[in-house]
Amino acid sequence: MPRTAIAPTFVGEGKIELREHTYRDPGPGELLLAVGANAICGTDREQWFEGSAVVPGHEAAGTVVAAGEGTTVAEGTRGAVFLMDYCGDCRSCRLGYTNQCLAKRNDMGFTADGGYGPYEIVHESNFFAVPDSVSAAEATLLLDVMGTSGHALGRIHRMRDDVESLYVAGAGPIGLGVLVMARIRYGADVPVYVSDVSPWRLAFAEELGATPIDATRPVTLTGVDAAIDSTGKQSARQTAVAVLGKRGVLACVGHGEGLSLDVSADLIAPERTVMGSEYFAYAEMAANLDLLQAHLSQLSRIITHRLPASELTAAFELFLGGETGKVVVTQDER
């Protein structure tokens, strides 16, 4: 039967109202989840300030409480929700590029109800099961923190398989995810330089193994093999290009502003690569789950705050204050 529950409505201007919300029964191929946790992301900022027609939250994990016709996932299964409700049939999906689906049904939390509410309806195809040893809060790490970061590092590897230094612009949750995933991938001896304007975030990145760089001052670093921009700021991207050495690779992860290039001097002569990196493919989640289980203590340090859903407004204010890693909002156990 359809469920009526109290869910947050983002009305804009940093205000959230709790209203009754009806969750329908899952249809064919769909699952109804009782949400266990949802991590706050910088892209939620627009919904916080501008409002949202749906319940936001695109980094969710929960438990299956009802399954629609034709599904194979059992009730009681716990898992994380892949952001993109991909079709599974287009050319991109058939090749495994589910983050580049040509007929995407929804982006969870943006065009369909997401994980800040008590329930979420998802297609079975973008639900990823996790073992009981991984908590709902920890399962959210499989999404933006590990998935987006690991995908960018993987794209860099396709162009350069001898990376011995990495520059990361931005020490927000994605930048911190890149830092920790790079540490896991390359080991402790490869320097990872992380720049930011926030002293708190730089100090936290240093605790996680980075060499911090104050982005309020001119960056004099040169000859770096690879760089990732998580800020979306043109100034940060220009700096990232400037620090690259020959055959250097820049992956742009943060949406936002542009980048100006002198094609001859910046790209052709040094044979550099500048690329975009959008989210990650669903198939990458299996390998990332193995990494999460093997390096749980290291990765879970990125989560600096866990607040109950009853304190959602406070959680946003804390996150937007700029002195946190990942902030995760948790629901009561059902």
* Range list of H helices, the chain: 45-50, 91-94, 136-139, 149-159, 173-186, 199-207, 234-243, 285-294, 296-299, 312-320
Cα 113 to Cα 6, 131, 235, distances in angstroms = 13, 25, 35
Written as tens digits, the pLDDT of the chain (334 aa) is 678 999 999 999 999 999 999 999 999 999 999 999 999 999 999 999 999 999 999 999 999 999 999 999 999 999 999 999 999 999 999 999 999 999 999 999 999 999 999 999 999 999 999 999 999 999 999 999 999 999 999 999 999 999 999 999 999 999 999 999 999 999 999 999 999 999 999 999 999 999 999 999 999 999 999 999 999 999 999 999 999 999 999 999 999 999 999 999 999 999 999 999 999 999 999 999 999 999 999 999 999 999 999 999 999 999 999 999 999 999 964 3
| Cβ–Cβ < 8 Å for 172, 42 | yes
Whole-model pTM: value is 0.96
Q: Which residues contact 167 (CB under 8 A, 6 or more apart)?
A: 193, 194, 195, 221, 224, 226, 227, 228, 240, 243, 244
Work out whether strand 3-12 and strand 15-23 pair parallel, antiparallel, or are unpaired: antiparallel
Q: What are the tokens at 7?
A: 């869910």
Count of Cβ atoms closer than 10 Å to residue 310 Cβ: 12
Strand partners, 80: 61, 128
**Angle at CA of residue 235, ends 231 and 240, nearest 5°:** 75
